[in-house]
Chains A and B, each alone.
Chain A
């Protein structure tokens, strides 16, 4: 294979293992080849950088766009109208809230606040097709909402490792499976050991308590969140108000 083809294949990612060895040998032995290779690598780095800058500018534009949208809202002439509209909305909302509270307050509060915590610890990539580690199976089950399986794998994982997120996701799985007592147990553990999921654990433990009509406990946990101001501050204070 000639050197040009070798470079072409390197950059379109189609080199075989054997060809990689040949390429490496050329890089060591042939200075001209090496400088051509480095030039092309530099071109690649430059294009990548150009592209990154362009993409990032687009994102920054999204940010400024949403800022101007919210400020122009404030300046519009129909402000009185919008106030009137929000009052009507507010009346409507509180009527709904009042009614639902009469029948099924806790249930409603839980439903409007609960959202499963996403898997943020274990990324399943295509390179791991052969990876059948417990972790992979546990999080695969978790992501597909197969909580029974997830619980089984996580319990196994808990015995074999000391990773503290295992308890957190166990709690999540119990909660999703409506096993509130066990969920609270796991979240309490997270809070006690000061895991990096501590703030999140307060929130989910509060929701689980809510579901069990244990308002006093729920309020205690929400107060922690409000005090710490690190996670779900707004949601926690709103929820507290509703529980009072």
Chain B
């Protein structure tokens, strides 16, 4: 149902192509900005929402939540974008009663509920963890990224990282986690 070029762009995004990442961003920019004009958000906020929506789409392609394209890429971006716009309207209208407007945005579609589109801020503990994560060696960062972000299983990491056996991968991963855990436990209490 999506056109040919959409499918090939999607495949390229899956593989992490830099030029596809730029092309899809630029191709949908005008459409999104036009679409968002119906909501009363400042231009910078709209652009920010667009970027967040685009990042979320890319994430869900990378982590395998979006496996096959069932709509055009533009449609996905707009659907996610609506949530991003809603988040912003909600933040701003915390104290005013704008329920009606928000309901209207929400009812339009909810068919991407399998996606990770949340943008909760990190908790203080997580922020601390982030500092320690930044201090890990490259090898640790890579293995943890493959496992927790790209959702590779142990076997796939073994091939990807040229490890000798699955057990080596497992113990390497545990060691990295242990380093983080110890750093957290030894940290001054927040």
Contacts and interface: CB of A to CB of B under 8 A. Distances in A.
Count class of interface residues, chain B: 35 or more
B177 A124 contact: no
B1 A124 contact: yes
Contacts of B66: 125-126
A75 interface: no
Interface string A214-244: 0000000000000000111000000000000
Contact of A123 (B35, B112, B184): B112
A63 interface: yes
Interface stretch (A38-46, A81-89, A105-113, A180-188): A38-46
A52 interface: yes
A189 interface: no
A59 B48 CA distance: 10
Given A59-B25, A123-B112, 18 more contacts: A12-B147, A12-B152, A40-B148, A42-B125, A44-B149, A48-B116, A49-B126, A58-B21, A63-B47, A118-B72, A118-B74, A121-B108, A122-B71, A124-B70, A126-B67, A128-B111, A144-B1, A230-B38
Ranked nearest first, the 6 interchain pairs of A and B with the lowest CB-CB distance are: A124-B70, A12-B153, A44-B148, A123-B111, A120-B78, A123-B79
Interface of A: 4, 8, 11-14, 39-40, 42-52, 55-56, 58-60, 62-63, 118-128, 139-140, 143-144, 165, 196, 199, 230-232
Interface of B: 1-2, 21-22, 25-26, 31, 34-35, 37-38, 47, 51-52, 54-55, 58-59, 64, 66-68, 70-72, 74-76, 78-79, 104, 108-109, 111-114, 116, 119, 122, 125-126, 129-130, 133, 144-145, 147-149, 151-154, 170, 177, 180-181, 184
